[in-house]
Amino acid sequence: MNSEEKIRSAFANKDWQEIKVTDSWQIFKIMAEFVDGFEKLSKIGPCVSIFGSARTAETNPYYQLAVQCGQLLTERGYGVITGGGPGIMEAGNKGAHLNGGKSVGLNIDLPFEQFHNKYIEPSRLLTFDYFFVRKVMFMKYSQGFIVLPGGMGTMDELFEALTLIQTGKIARFPIVLVGTDYWGGLVDWIKNTMLEKEHNIHAEDLNLFRLVDTAEEAAEHIFRFYDKYVLKPNF
């Protein structure tokens, strides 16, 4: 079996560990992740993504806030999408699961820290190798973002969404930051330095997100944004 045949066989069986994928053939692995994600997520109804740190302990108040967010969203017919891992992600899925709602996890294959949580429906668990493919799924299939305290990955997802909305590459959707103590310093820097001192954004860009402190406020911001639509989940 030559190298091309090996790659074709691996592509058919999704057995990527058996071969060393070259740059030119790697596109098929990327395509496979996009196709698998689109096929599995295309039938979901209105969903809101909950983001935050994988390192947040169950005893942390932000963990409990994420659980409450998941419960409030599912009470109104929304599904919950998370990154599929522990911490805040687990909490969001847990809230959806405890409330009998739909719980989706977009996991990422990492050498440390990331493993899928037990509150995701098995049929709605996807695992990705590429962060950029995973982020496309979040952007395409989420009707809103609720962002709790997190690290670099959370910042990446937050500013990706803000950039795409600001530049008109995707339609606007609600983005909520939960936790003034955590996000307040960043918001102040955006206002004072990015806007007023350096003029690197417009004043209206500050309206792309909302800063709140409770799960009720976060969920209500999502609900108000879509009050003019009739959302019927098709799970």
**Is residue 232's pLDDT more than 80?**
no
Cα–Cα distances (Å) from 202 to 37, 55, 184, 186, 191, in that order, read: 35, 34, 19, 16, 10
Write the pLDDT tens digit of every residue in 15-68: 555 555 567 778 888 999 999 999 999 888 899 999 999 999 999 999 999 999
pTM of the model: 0.86
Residue 136 lies in a domain: yes
Cα–Cα distances (Å) from 74 to 94, 96, 124, in that order, read: 11, 6, 16
- How many helices (H) and strands (E) the chain has is answered by 8, 7
Residue 79, φ and ψ in degrees, nearest 5: -85, 165
CATH number at residue 65: 3.40.50.450
Distance CA 22, CA 151 (A): 32
pLDDT recorded at residue 10:
56
Write the pLDDT tens digit of every residue in 83-94: 999 999 999 999
Q: Domain tally for the chain?
A: 1
Write the pLDDT tens digit of every residue in 112-162: 656 788 999 999 999 999 999 999 999 999 999 999 999 999 999 999 999
Residue 176, φ and ψ in degrees, nearest 5: -120, 125
Residue 23 lies in a domain: no
Residue 192 lies in a domain: yes
Q: With cut-offs at 50, 70 and 90, classify the pLDDT of residue 180.
A: very high
Residue 18 lies in a domain: no
Residue 132 lies in a domain: yes
| Residue whose C-alpha is closest to residue 49's, from 79, 27, 25 | 79
Domain that holds residue 102: 36-224
- Using DSSP, state whether 232 is helix, strand or coil: coil
> 70, 96 in Cβ contact below 8 A?
yes
